[in-house]
A and B are shown apart, each in its own frame.
Chain A
């Protein structure tokens, strides 16, 4: 294992996941993403470096502490408002780039960093705790993000090691990476969960930050290059953005010629990630969006079921 592969930036390790591939799985979230989907529920995963976050509920205030109001914290980055509440506030424009030198000032964990460097062994040690569940349920490890393929050496090393230890592997990817990254990781993957967010490249750029030309090229090439892998297409269904039949049918037209794409799952929009935007000083742009109604999801899933030759609605995902 080379040094580049041995360490990576991990955001979180989540146990007992049931929607990230077959069986009960442990999902490892890696940092860094090349898209900016407006509905992103993991905004803490986007940056390439550890990111400052702040939970005011854990702050004990200037009188009791106040350590972050002094250097090495940047001037003006932290402040206290007039009034009886002396807890710290963050000026996110001036706090940009704050790292461990700042968060280490905070004794209560109100200031913290999203993202921690880990080794492959660190990750596998945590993942293997759930080995019994994998064997019983047919589960395993799933790499997610962010975009796990943006740490290709680290991802490939984790997945190769997991295979060595007899653990089933999956990844969740949006595919906006150079083909070489995908080519490096996919040999070690059993199941590829991949996103088709929008069909039209201009609209894809508007809602996800970059167009989907390379994404579609990558997926097509992946289907053909790795015929023994299992692919599952997925779409996060965002009301008024991609909840139309046209998008669903165009994705079906793209995937159905490839027999190794075994399913197409729809993930209804949710707002669980919204509070995290506040903790990161970011703005949640879809302020007034609401989840799609179940009837709409059933209707769209019925189209998929029909295409896959399934009769009962709601069996896809």
Chain B
């Protein structure tokens, strides 16, 4: 599902050269749940941005969900992103729209027929345990609930791969565990997941394969 071959990413700020990632190679198979961990600044977010083609690698090759991400033309990027669900630390919900509308919005822009939207939204809300909060605005939801809505929005697309960038970063421990439990349930239903977190504790609690990044290099691949 995800394959990186000697991937490197360099940012240039005038004469300054910042090596964000260097020589990263790994593979995440279909149906696998992998944790990407490491301290802040290790390159986790950069790596995920390369996977959904928000950034282009400076070197190496990336394959995601059957797409050769490195060779992808700009017009083809939407096709890649349709196959991926993405969840961020901040839920990125639209403040003026209800939980239902936020999830439906993600489907409507993809041209999903209207009659399919309602069942898919409610199915996704049910999967994250928020069926009763469908009409609530983001401001009326707790941070944990907002993150669940974001997760539901990603799930409603029925993605082959779910990428999560610090999805529990702004949540307290108890809520974080609830959200991680949801990821676990989603994985059990067959979705491939790559979850980035700086918390080694959370990573160890999940007891899944863990890829450790340090200073842009993959230093450990354990529990696979």
Whether A and B are associated in the same complex: the answer reads no
